[in-house]
Amino acid sequence: MDQSYRSSIGHGVAFHGEGMTQPTHGGNVYKVAHDRHIPVDRIVDFSANINPLGPPAVVRRAIRLALKQIVHYPDPDCRQLRQALAQQCGVDPDMILVGNGSTELIHLVPRALAIKSALIIGPTFEEYARALMDAGGTVQYVHARREDRFRPPVKEILRELSAKRTRIDAVFLCNPNNPTGQVFTKPAMRELADAMERRQSWLIVDEAFIDYCQEQSAVSMLKEHPRMVVLRSLTKFYAMPGLRIGYLLGASKVVDQLKERQPPWSVNSLAQEVSCAILRDHAYAIKSRACMEKERSRFIKGLRSLPGVRIYPSAANFVLIELPAWTSAGMTADRLASRRLLVRDCSSLPGLSAYMIRVAVRTGKENRRLLTALGAWLKK
């Protein structure tokens, strides 16, 4: 395979030749506030991909009503929430496992399913590699390429699987991809899922941002692909990452296997009650999708007017930006942070260059503020 597509890291070997350190995520407003001596609420966070509408109005009421439950341990089986999720997703409740954010479940999967070697479709979220290596596994990458506008490299993935250089226990991918915003179509996903079933290997699909392109979800394929696991997040689309709640879907036997390795009471009572409430707020979901489609288009148009940048199309609530060669992601992120605007420096992600940043789509007013600050920096 073309080495521009393929790379690997082994057990105990880390990104860019350094020790395996904690991945850098977006959304760390507390560190920026501490380092720059400014209040958290004065920072506009474009580094975390959170719904710009803020939490639904039902969240406050649900928290108030749930306060009386904190004298009891939370339901370890999340019965009511699994029932609500099952109804929304069109599956049986025993096909769902709820976790303390999808990150808990990402780390649970390789341990519970004994995944020791995996292929990750990059560039992507660093936590997959972290989870696999923490579980004693090895990681290989197949990267989407810049010259293909980060189109999902379906043919290259299938070619790598058929090469059989080494045993591959699982493929991990994010759909839509974070940070590129690109989408695996359902036919492409089905082709990959069929290939993994033939190999008796796992396909792990992270749909953290699928709410913005629901028609491409892989959930409908689960019953015919028992070795597929789909991860979901509730906190991004519903703008409540501080509550930490996510879930996964899979065959009931697989869910039971995962549940056995999950710590008890990992999902608190407030998160469970709030999640049940937001799932009933269909008007919020409809409004969120409509607002995102409109504002994303407007924001991308503004970004494309900036000098020297390359903007990649996105089906999610964020945009990947390639900066001109005279600057870098780190320099630009630092400059914007001095303006109290936090963006995601993507230079640490395998498969991306030192010139890549990711920005969330926020409100029109906030987006215009970022466009002004970024434009002033790029015109220097």
Structural domains of the chain, with CATH: 22-54+283-378 (3.90.1150.10), 58-280 (3.40.640.10)
- Predicted pLDDT at 178: 97
Q: Which residues, in sequence order, are bridge partners of residue 97?
A: 248
Q: For the chain (length 380 residues), average pLDDT per consecutive 10?
A: 50 35 67 88 94 96 93 96 98 98 97 97 96 96 96 94 84 98 96 96 98 96 97 96 96 97 94 97 97 98 97 97 97 96 95 97 98 94
From residue 331, alpha-carbon distances to 40, 303, 337, 357, 372 in Å are 22, 18, 10, 11, 17
Sign of CA dihedral 304, 310, 313, 314: negative
The b/e string for 341-359 (b: 16+ C-beta within 10 A; e otherwise) is bbbbbbbbbbbbeebbbbb
What is the Cα gyration radius of the chain?
Answer: 20
DSSP, res 99: E
The Cα–Cα gap between 222 and 212 comes to: 20
The identity of residue 251, as a single letter, is A
Q: CA torsion angle for 254, 260, 261, 267 (degrees, to 10)?
A: 100
**What pLDDT shows up at residue 32?**
85
Q: Alpha helices, DSSP H only, in 98-251? A: 102-112, 127-134, 154-163, 186-199
129-178 confidence digits (pLDDT tens): 999 999 999 999 999 999 999 999 999 999 999 886 678 999 999 999 99
Looking at residue 287, what is its pLDDT?
98
The three-class DSSP label of residue 7 is strand
State the pTM of this model.
0.93
Measured CA to CA, the distance from residue 69 to residue 60 in angstroms comes to 15
pLDDT computed for residue 14 by the predictor: 33
What is the model's pLDDT at position 27? 65
Model pLDDT, residue 6: 58
Distance CA 44, CA 336 (A): 10
**Residue 85 carries which side chain, given as an amino acid letter?**
L
